[in-house]
Amino acid sequence: MKVLVLPLFQFPTGHLKVAETIEEHVLEQYPDADIKIVDFLSYCSVKLEKLVSGIYLKGFLGAPFLYRALYYTIMYKQHPFKMQPDLQVLSYYFERKMQKFLETEKPDLVFCTHSFPSGIISSLKQKGRYQRFIAVNVYTDFFINDIWGKHGIDYHFVPHHEAKQKLITKHQLAGESIFVTGIPVSTTYQFPSPHKAERIRQVLVAGGNSGLVDSFDLISAMQKLPHIQFRILCGNNEELFAELQKLHSEQIVPIGYIHDPDELNKLYEEADAIMTKPGGVTISEALQKRLPILIHTSLPGQEEINMDFLLEKGLAIVINNDQMIKQLKDEATILALRKNIDAYLQEITCPLEAAIHNAIKDTGRKNAEPVHSLKAIPTVYH
């Protein structure tokens, strides 16, 4: 059985982490599967991938207002920007590349963890150009942007029931093809952290690699809470790591890049809350660990829309430097966050391994029976 998983870009992103999670789950159940993670943009052209990823990173981090305008113009047109660029020539180019790629690989099953390859595959399948595989969308944010393919895609793994209802009502998709799996996270993080008291004593701070801790105003606010330890994930931000080390503080502890998921899971287990940006995968890891989520800042586009959802559902609070002391001492708010997280997780009705098993069975391959029993998996409600 040949399985392809298609994220976007070669540098670490949430789309790649979800792709690796899909690979992990497939191989756990079907160790003989021939599975490959492919950045389709790099397949088209390595130079093109470097150009587009460079523009993406510079726009995302360096020109947020421009990126926001482009995102709401092209990716999520429910917002006020109504201009629709003509991408017909580019679509023709990428469809030809995708068709050649699929004919070469001859997959039985394709998982898309980014909207770009999903949209191309959807277009090809609707045109009848390539039908011989099962296509699955695995959504990596708390909303569904306009680029994701809807029709021609066989299954959809959605983050929550509202996303499922939108696909049914707005796009007239069959409910049987949509599974509420939540945003997939590694099995390393699937079990909740030990029960903790409402009082916060340790906060894990994520996002240092992409500018969350970009001002020492935030550090100053942390220092006013001496009874709370802040562990700051610096990622590849060596400058931030060095600056925080100079503090020689037991209260503010910098942590370098973490390769081992078990090590990160240990930090989740020891934390009472997480301060982060509203990226889909990091937030989903925190939800699985039942950690109260404190949003300090958000990047433009998808993170802003994620944040709107999280705040509406009471799954996170926005924290600011001036009010941090009051907010982190508010035990009632922290308790409410934990209750809302429990309610959200209870609405995830389909374990990821069950959804994957269903998609693999639909390929009709003889080796579709898993190695491990699925009898312990809860009933799937469509």
Runs of H (alpha helix) within the chain = 14-29, 40-44, 46-57, 64-70, 88-105, 115-126, 161-171, 216-223, 238-245, 261-270, 280-288, 302-312, 324-328, 331-346, 352-361
What are residue 252's DSSP bridge partners?
230
Residue 259: how many other CB atoms lie within 10 Å = 7
Which among 222, 177, 172 has a CA at the least distance from the CA of 380?
177
pLDDT confidence of residue 88: 53
H-helix or E-strand spanning residue 253: strand 252-256
Contact 193, 272 (CB under 8 A): no
CATH class of 188-346: alpha beta
Residue 90 has a pLDDT of 63
pLDDT at position 6, please?
96
Q: What is the Cα–Cα distance from 243 to 237, expressed in whole angstroms?
A: 10
Q: Does CATH place domain 2-182+348-361 in 3.40.50?
A: yes
- At which residue do the structure tokens 């935030």 appear? 218
SS3 label, residue 256: strand
pLDDT tens digits for range 134-156? 999 999 999 999 899 999 999 99
SS3 10: coil
Distance (Å, whole) CA 311 – CA 301: 16
Query: What are the 10-residue block averages of pLDDT along the chain, 382 residues in total?
Result: 88 84 93 93 77 61 66 66 52 89 95 94 88 93 94 96 96 96 93 78 81 71 93 89 92 91 94 93 95 88 92 95 89 93 93 94 67 42 39
Nearest to residue 317, comparing CAs of 230, 183, 222, 326?
326
Distance, CA of 23 to CA of 3 (rounded, Å): 9
State the pLDDT at residue 373. Answer: 43
- Same topology between domain 2-182+348-361 and domain 188-346: yes
Check residue 330 and give left, alpha or beta (phi > 0: left; psi -120 to 50: alpha).
beta
Q: Which of 38, 29, 45 lies closest to 4 in space, CA to CA? A: 38
pTM for this entry: 0.87
In this structure, what token pair is assigned to residue 211? 């500018």
Residues 6+ apart with CB under 8 A from 88: none
Q: What are the structure tokens assigned to 132, written together?
A: 């011989």
Other Cβ atoms less than 10 A from the Cβ of 367: the count is 13
Domain boundaries, the chain: 2-182+348-361, 188-346
SS3 372: coil
